[in-house]
Amino acid sequence: MKRIDPLGIYGLWLRDVTRFVRTPSRIIGALSMPLLFLVFLGFGFEGAAIPGLPEDVDYLEFLVPGIVGFTMLFGASFAGLSILSDRDVGFLKEILVAPVSRTSIVLGRIAGGSTTAFLQGILILLFSVPLGFRFTSLLSLPLAFVFLVLIAVTFVGFGIALASQFRDSEGFMLIVQFIIFPLFFLSGALFPIQGLPGPVQYLAYVNPLTYGVDGLRAVLIGTSSYPVAVNAGVLTLSSVGMVALGAALFERVESV
């Protein structure tokens, strides 16, 4: 069988997207937590003096890219979860017995999961506008989309790699909670990482989300800790790495 099978990848992608747009309850569920963070933190800390925050930047402006990144984490964990719930309901066997390589299956799932995570990120971005968020320029949006895609692929790949190590969805969901929040807090999403104690800062430097959030800030509000190119470069590497990791680990998944 071919290693890369576009039609099979497209079929799996279409399935994820169809299911996503068909269940508004799932979309609302996925967006409610990030929205709560956005509304309460955004208004609660409005005008507060946060160390390390650039002077001309409003906290809500600073927060929106971080919450968008957080939304992507959630979307990615759902992608990992969907593999396990496929196993729970038996559907995984239908996919695994098809003449499609494991690599293609992983690529299809990453494509589907990334698309839904991407859409969730866009929705949060749209919701932030009535809350008072202003884009520096609409021209920056395409560049923001690139960052969203890179963040989505990185973490969906990670989610699938992680999910492949579990046999059922319950254990996975438990662990995911302990991974999402540290990644979130250690990404500079809520406050500049310069405010973290020295050793902890290093953890933030190896967190791909740090570069994702920083890159989004660079293109959306025009302020960032690193140049756009550095952020984009790190994220590209991490997304390739995570896809490879996901594919390698999924290769060994037993179907029965």
Binding site for another protein (CB under 8 A): 1, 5, 7-8, 10-12, 14-15, 18-19, 22-23, 89-91, 93-100, 255-256
User: 99 or 142: whose CB is closer to another protein?
Assistant: 99
Of 144 and 160, the one with the shorter C-beta distance to another protein is 160
151 exposure class (CB count in 10 Å sphere: 0-12, 13-18, 19+): buried
Minimum distance from residue 90 beta carbon to another protein (Å): 4
Q: What kind and span of H or E run contains 39?
A: helix 24-44
Of the two residues 45 and 91, which places its CB atom closer to another protein in the complex? Answer: 91
Q: Report the nearest approach of another protein to the CB of residue 124 (Å).
A: 24
- Compute the Cα dihedral for 80, 81, 84, 90 and give only its sign: negative
Cβ nearer to another protein, comparing 23 with 137: 23
Locate 228 and state its tokens.
Answer: 């756009």
- Does the CA dihedral 169-173-179-183 come out positive or negative? positive
What is the sign, positive or negative, of the torsion defined by CA atoms of 4, 6, 11, 16? positive
Give the relative orientation of helices 208-220 and 140-163 as an angle to the nearest 10 degrees. Answer: 160
CB closer to another protein out of 160 and 213? 160
Smallest gap from Cβ 211 to another protein, in A, equals 35
List b or e across 22-46, with b for residues whose CB sees 16 or more CB atoms inside 10 angstroms. Answer: eeeeebeebbeebbebbeebbeebe
User: Shortest approach of another protein to residue 3 CB, angstroms?
Assistant: 11
Cα 3 versus chain centre, distance: 26
**Least separation, in Å, of the C-beta of 223 and another protein?**
42
From the list 209, 106, 119, 112, the residue with the least C-alpha distance to 163 is 106
Distance of closest approach, residue 173 Cβ to another protein, in angstroms: 19
Which one, 23 or 194, has the nearer CB to another protein?
23
Closest distance between another protein and the C-beta of residue 83, in Å?
A: 13
3-state secondary structure of 162: helix
- Calpha distance 169→83 (Å, rounded): 9
* Of residues 7 and 229, the one with the C-beta less far from another protein: 7
